[in-house]
Amino acid sequence: MTTSTISSDASLPQLRRFDWRGLVLPAGFLLVWALVTALGWVNTKLIPPPQAVLSTAVSFIGKAQFFNGLGASLWRDLAGFAIGSLAGVVFGALLGVSRWAGRIVGPTFHTLKHIALFAWLPLISTWLGQGDAAKVLFIGLSAFYPVALGALEGVHGIARSQLEVARVYGFGRVQLLFKLILPGASPQILAGLHLALIYAWLATIGAEYLLAKSGPGIGDAVIQGKAAFDVPLVIFGMLLIGLVGALFNQIANRIEARLLRWRDARH
Amino acid sequence: MAHAGTLEIKNLNKQYTVKGEPLPVLENISLSIKPGEFVSIVGSSGCGKSTLLRLVIGLEQEYQGEILLDGKRIVGTSLDRGIVFQEHRLFPWLTVEQNVGVGLLNADLSPAQKKKTVDEHIALVGLKGFETAYPYQLSGGMSQRVAIARALVNRPEVLLLDEPFGALDALTRSHLQQELQRIWEAEGITAILVTHDVEEAVYLGDRVVVMQPRPGRIKRIVDVPLPRSRDRGSYAFSQIKDDVLSEFSDTPHSDVKLVTPQESLGANWQFAW
């Protein structure tokens, strides 16, 4: 499964020193971009020079619209992520622990997860309109699946031999959950949360594109840029979205490496 | 110091059901173990020795006959019996001291008492200085020491050991056997060791119970009246060891007919024709 590869990569960045060679390609791209626009080889209406994007960024960052937009997007993202991932842990763990729940709910869940995320949007907007509630629900749904699947996989992975240890030391139900099941499943749960954080941000932007005309947001700013044929603004918006996503990924890497420090680094 | 338990097994029978058919695993086991005694159980694989231990610890429940600890029938697991498995079975997300503390999770002690008892037992197994290490940082022998500390931290009446050193290299194994003897003497506890290593059984046991397979039965009980610490190289030690080993070596003679090379060669020729 993809979740396990992500979790094993997660502990590496902290151990590795920063490698400057990774900057060669972006720097080269920036150079070519600056060159072709400066030499007039391309239509600068469609491909503006980097300095135009930079000056747009500088002026846009100064505006209240920027902070409101970014703030609104982040707020929706984190709200949806929190709700969806909490529901995911509870649901996935329950499905993993209870044979009964696994039999009754499992098949339905494993079928429903194949509905493409964006296919839920028409239904959600029909029920909840295009406001924040619909967006947060959609973002929550995007976070729910990877976390639920991670928790389910993690709980299933707990060895019988460890459950016997719990029996020998007389663990009660609550102790079983918090002293064995959740910590035992934590690598897969964290891998699921990591994916969920990325999915939730994608869903945040996607929801702003597809549930348009609904208040501020960073995706909304990009749409306005497109409507005004302000290509520098569109590019700046894209970069900003990518930057926020990368930042989330870094934070997730750090947290994961910290929480899973009990695992062999060579794992 | 812990109160050492008296364990009595009377007419114990145990069977599994395989494809609707009853499969006897243990047949008519009777064994009485005195407080503070160290009993080794040896047998080849499949003789039910691990099943016997799992019944005493309470991980297996259904059986006929009686298993009594201090006169009371054993029902399920309890903190008055500790066990060390062949694999250490430590929780990898917990440090050494937290793993030992798992044994005290349900003990009736204050946090300060728990901390003190955990520290004492980490010292007992010789792991002072490793309190905050994680299992992946420990060698196999050190992990098994932690498992022993976890099993003893409740001061159980009986310590059960299910091939605890089976997965270790020979040097570590003999060192840990000495350590186990020291720990057993220090705790004054009743101990039952299941092993397939005859030397280990004789080195540690007051008595060696020899079991035979299909179904698992007690074949013979050999006393080891040697003072401790025992010298593995001594004549008396090897005599007892040979005595126990002879219980295994005579089975092939009666069960299996030896095939001479000539016979098999002839059979091959015939097959070729």
B91 with A184: Cβ contact below 8 A: yes
pLDDT of residue A19: 82
| pLDDT: which is higher, B150 or A131 | B150
Quick one: pLDDT at residue B268?
A: 43
| Stretches in chain A below the pLDDT threshold 70 | 1-16, 213-214, 265-267
% of chain B residues with pLDDT over 90: 66
- Look at B80 and B271; give whichever has higher pLDDT: B80
User: Does the pLDDT value for residue B267 go beyond 80?
Assistant: no
B50 to chain A, minimum CA–CA distance in Å?
14
Give A257→chain B minimum CA distance, Å. 13
Q: Which of A7, A11, A160, A165 to mutate to test the interface with B (most CBs of B within 10 A)?
A: A165
**B85 near A CB under 8 A:** yes
Q: What is the pLDDT of residue A9?
A: 43
Residue A168 neighbours by CB distance under 10 Å: 25
Architecture (CATH level 2) of domain B1-77+160-165+192-273:
3-Layer(aba) Sandwich (3.40)
Mutation target for B interface from A167, A168, A173, A178: give the one with most B CBs within 10 A.
Answer: A168
pLDDT class of B270 with cuts at 50, 70, 90: very low
Q: Length of chain A, please?
A: 267
Comparing B45 with A240, which gets the higher pLDDT?
Answer: A240
Spatial contact of B213 and B48, defined as CB atoms under 8 Å apart: yes
* pLDDT, position A15: 52
- Tell me if B102 and A264 make a contact (CB, 8 A cut-off): no
Which residues in chain B touch residue A180, judged by CB atoms under 8 angstroms apart? 91
Residues of chain A found within 8 Å of residue B135, distances taken between Cβ atoms: 262
Q: List, in sequence order, every residue forming a beta bridge with B192; answer none if it has no partner.
A: B39, B160
Tell me, what amino acid is at B132? T
Domain extents in chain A: 2-259
Residues 6 or more apart whose CB falls under 8 angstroms from that of A46 comprise: A231
CATH T-level assignment (fold) for domain A2-259: MetI-like fold (1.10.3720)
SS3 label, residue A32: helix
Alpha carbon distance A4, B245 (integer Å): 49
Query: What is the DSSP secondary structure assignment for residue A93, as one 8-state letter?
Result: H
Q: For residue B145, give every residue at least 6 positions away whose Cβ sits within 8 Å of its Cβ, in sequence order, or none.
A: B125, B126, B127, B176, B179
What residues does each domain of chain B span?
A: 1-77+160-165+192-273
A186 vs B contacts (CB less than 8 Å): 93
SS3 letters for chain B?
Answer: CCCCCCEEEEEEEEEEEECCEEEEEEEEEEEEECCCCEEEEECCCCCCHHHHHHHHHCCCCCCEEEEEECCEECCCCCCCEEEECCCCCCCCCCCHHHHHHHCCCCCCCCHHHHHHHHHHHHHHCCCCCCCCCCHHHCCHHHHHHHHHHHHHCCCCCEEEEECCCCCCCHHHHHHHHHHHHHHHHHHCCEEEEEECCHHHHHHHCCEEEEEECCCEEEEEEEECCCCCCCCCCCHHHHHHHHHHHHHHHHHHHHHCCCCCHHHHHHHHHHHHC
Rounded CA separation A147/A145 (Å):
5
Q: Phi, psi (5° rounding) for residue B64?
A: -105, 150
Answer whether B159's CB lies under 8 Å from B171's CB: no
The Cα–Cα gap between A264 and A146 comes to 24
User: Given this model, what pLDDT does residue B249 score?
Assistant: 77
In the predicted model, what is the mean pLDDT of chain B? 87
What angle do the packed helices A2-10 and A132-156 form, to 10 degrees? 90
CB B249 within 8 A of CB B222: no
Output the pLDDT for position A233. 87
Look-up: residue for tokens 């995007």? Answer: A142
- pLDDT-based confidence at residue B252 (cuts at 50, 70, 90): very low
On whether the CB atoms of residues B195 and B166 are closer than 8 A, the answer is yes
* Partner-chain contact A165 B59, CB within 8 Å: no
What's the one-letter identity of residue A166?
A: A
A249 residue type, one letter: N
Q: Residue B18 above 90 pLDDT?
A: no
In this predicted structure, what is the pLDDT of residue A214? 63
* pLDDT tens track for A88-106: 999 999 999 988 988 999 8
